[in-house]
């Protein structure tokens, strides 16, 4: 009887492992917001890491945050490093095309090792600028297991966080340009 239970549990675990293996290994999210300002007024808020972090929603809930910036905080090669409780990483600007595009390489040491690429595209519209914020990266196996168990939805969490950041960027830029 005990062996049968162990075999059933082993089979169930094997099936679950196969199911987890079929889950996506990458997460790609892109959200946008229309800002009533020219791209030139928005670009410094994404191209300068200190300005970016003034509205970066991913920093809001970090505790015991220690930050370090490279000597140059804006443009190609600028680096930001952070260390917080359970969260350690760096952001490096790998591409900067004024006033239309900024790409950042995000590298994480904690809570899991990994990385993402953040891409900001600023596209002029008739009355302002459409700002696109994309994140693309690998999904750690723990997140895939939690997703398979329906405990964690990475796409939803990332989309919600990016949306809140874009809303804050919009408010910041539009209030500054209204003055």
Q: Give the predicted TM-score (pTM) of the model.
A: 0.82
Tally the C-alpha atoms within 13 A of residue 68's C-alpha that lie toward its C-beta. 7
Give me the pLDDT at residue 170, please: 97
Convert the pLDDT of each residue in 116-149 to its tens digit: 899 999 999 988 999 999 988 776 666 665 555 6
Running DSSP on this structure, what letter comes out for residue 59?
G
Alpha helix locations (H) across 22-121? 39-47, 49-53
Query: Helices 2-21 and 141-148: crossing angle, nearest 10°?
Result: 110
Q: pLDDT per residue over 54-104, tens digit each? A: 999 988 888 899 999 999 999 999 999 999 998 899 999 999 999 999 999
Percent of the chain with pLDDT over 70: 82
Contacts of 153 (CB under 8 A, 6+ apart): 147
Report H helices in the chain. 2-21, 39-47, 49-53, 141-148, 154-178
Domain residue ranges of the chain, discontinuous segments joined by +: 25-178
Residue 19 pLDDT level (bands cut at 50, 70, 90): low
Write down the architecture of domain 25-178 according to CATH.
2-Layer Sandwich (3.30)
């Amino acid at each position: 009887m005990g062996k049968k239970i162990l075999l059933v549990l082993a089979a169930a675990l094997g099936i679950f492992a196969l199911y987890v293996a079929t889950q996506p290994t990458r997460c790609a999210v892109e959200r946008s917001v229309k800002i009533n300002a020219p791209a030139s007024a928005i670009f410094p808020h994404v191209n300068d890491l200190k300005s970016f972090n003034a509205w970066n929603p991913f920093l809001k809930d970090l505790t015991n945050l220690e930050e370090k910036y490279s000597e140059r905080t804006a443009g190609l090669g600028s680096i930001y490093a952070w260390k917080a409780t359970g969260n350690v990483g760096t952001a490096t600007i790998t591409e900067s095309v004024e006033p239309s595009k900024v790409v950042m390489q995000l590298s994480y040491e904690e809570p899991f090792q990994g990385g993402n690429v953040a891409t900001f595209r600023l596209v002029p519209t008739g009355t302002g600028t459409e700002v696109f914020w994309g994140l693309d990266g690998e999904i750690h196996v723990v997140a895939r297991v939690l997703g398979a168990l329906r405990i964690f939805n990475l796409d939803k969490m990332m989309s919600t966080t990016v949306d809140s950041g874009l809303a804050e960027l919009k408010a910041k830029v539009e209030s500054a340009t209204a003055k």
